[in-house]
Amino acid sequence: MKSVRNRAIGAALVMLLAVLGIGQHLLDRQAVAQTNGKVMVPKFEVDPFWPKPMPNNWVFGQTIGLGIDEKDQVWIIHRGNDPGNLDRTELAFPPPAAGRGGRGPAPEQAEMTSSQPMKVAECCFPAPPVVAFSPAGDVVYSWGGPKVHADWPESNHGIIVDNKGYVWIGGNGQPDSHIMKFTRDGKFVAMFGKKGARRDPNNPTQYVRNADDLESFGRVAKVWIDAPANEAYVADGYFNKRVAVIDMDSGKVKRYWGGYGEKPDNANPPPYNPKEGPSRQFRTPVHCAMVSKDGFVYVCDRPNDRIQVFTKDGKFVKEKQYFPETLADGSVWDIAFSTDPQQKFLYVADGKNDHIYIVDRQSLELLTHFGAGGRQPGMFMAVHSIAVDSKGNIYTTETYTGKRLQKFIYKGMVAVDKKEQGAPWPTRTTAAR
């Protein structure tokens, strides 16, 4: 009797699974029918009212780092404190100058040639290098610069907040071969690497690469935190050409690799030429190294116009180029993962063509993109960094003359209707007249 009953139960389970399979198949067919077979992707609209105006007539310089903490506070780092980063016309206290183009000062602006800056207007003032915004767009933290620590980077680059609430920054100035860690309110915690480590001991005005250095770095572009492993992935960067994985407590380099997982070299490669085929080495800058939930490392090989994917121990998995005809600064500047459990999509910032690409993470195929070159909301001038909050909203920063932070609100999933979306302006709702 028991065997008969077991067979009956087994038959019932087989039937149930078959029914469920048919049901799922019908649901899948219905979903495809509802979208006319089109691929579904996240939709975004720019929020032109975010962030709120900053206090004190603050303005950003080149805005070259972006991170979001567990409270969905948005952290940026910019270069407004760097000499010459803000145009003289942007400052209430323009720095002294000998004139324009070496031809002497314009007569109507003689006050700018004095030995000390003179206030010429109410606006504007550089914001502190580090600024954090609440989800509502209010400034909640602001600090940074050499007054905070004498080894502050010569040229700020990259910012992230770790699982313990510490703020990490890098730098890509000539002597910047270190990473710094602070509390949220700007108190110094630790420094990994030594500033000036790449300086040539035989010629102090020159710097030399060292892709095998286990203590210091070579102009770090960005840091990514792998909290469960207590490791940080360093895009190293603007001088070295490697990914370095460090212990979060000691800062010691545990492993590192170059293009295709090979040993990185110290050569200075020629400019990228799309006719020459894939380079076996990264080019500078190696601009990001991000770890997905399923344990793959996505590297922005910016001038080579490509993403390379690795295991956590540096084994090469696959690669994909985007707009490989792009020269100069390259097309792959930064990456963020979508917030669904599978992290189905990559959001790729292209600061040369000024787009955000929505990419299928498994296949690396580009599905659609939004944004275009320009200064209006939803457009970009050198989109540099990208990050996503817990609600799926995208944030971007812009360098060079862009100098701003933007927010793009997640509006749900839609069928792809065209590859080029343009500026994702908010949907207008007007009452009938």
Tokens matching residue 363: 């296949």
For residue 102, what pLDDT is reported?
Answer: 37
Q: Which overall architecture, per CATH, does domain 39-415 show?
A: 6 Propeller (2.120)
Cβ proximity of 197 and 181 under 8 Å: no
User: Residue 397 gets which letter from DSSP?
Assistant: E
Q: Which of 170, 321, 183, 307 is nearest to 233 (CA)?
A: 170
Backbone torsions φ then ψ of 129, nearest 5 degrees: -55, -35
By DSSP bridging, strand 40-46 and strand 405-415 are antiparallel
**Chain segment 256-275, per-residue pLDDT in tens:** 999 999 999 999 989 999 99
Instruction: Give Dmax (Cα) for the chain.
Output: 108
The sign of the dihedral angle between the CA atoms of 29, 30, 31, 32 is: positive
**Chain segment 365-417, per-residue pLDDT in tens:** 999 999 999 999 999 999 999 999 999 999 999 999 999 999 999 999 999 99
Backbone torsions φ then ψ of 375, nearest 5 degrees: -110, -5
Domain boundaries, the chain: 1-34, 39-415
By DSSP bridging, strand 178-182 and strand 167-171 are antiparallel
Tokens matching residue 312: 């956590």
Backbone torsions φ then ψ of 28, nearest 5 degrees: -65, -45
CA 324/CA 117 separation, integer angstroms:
46
pLDDT < 50 positions in the chain: 2, 9, 13-14, 16-34, 98-114, 430-433
Q: Which of 255, 240, 251, 246 is nearest to 286 (CA)?
A: 240
By DSSP bridging, strand 125-126 and strand 58-59 are parallel
The helix, strand and coil proportions of the chain, stated in percent and rounded to the nearest 5, come to 15, 35, 50
Backbone torsions φ then ψ of 220, nearest 5 degrees: -70, 130
For residue 196, what pLDDT is reported?
Answer: 97
The sign of the dihedral angle between the CA atoms of 402, 405, 410, 413 is: positive
For residue 35, what pLDDT is reported?
Answer: 58
**Chain segment 229-246, per-residue pLDDT in tens:** 999 999 999 999 999 999
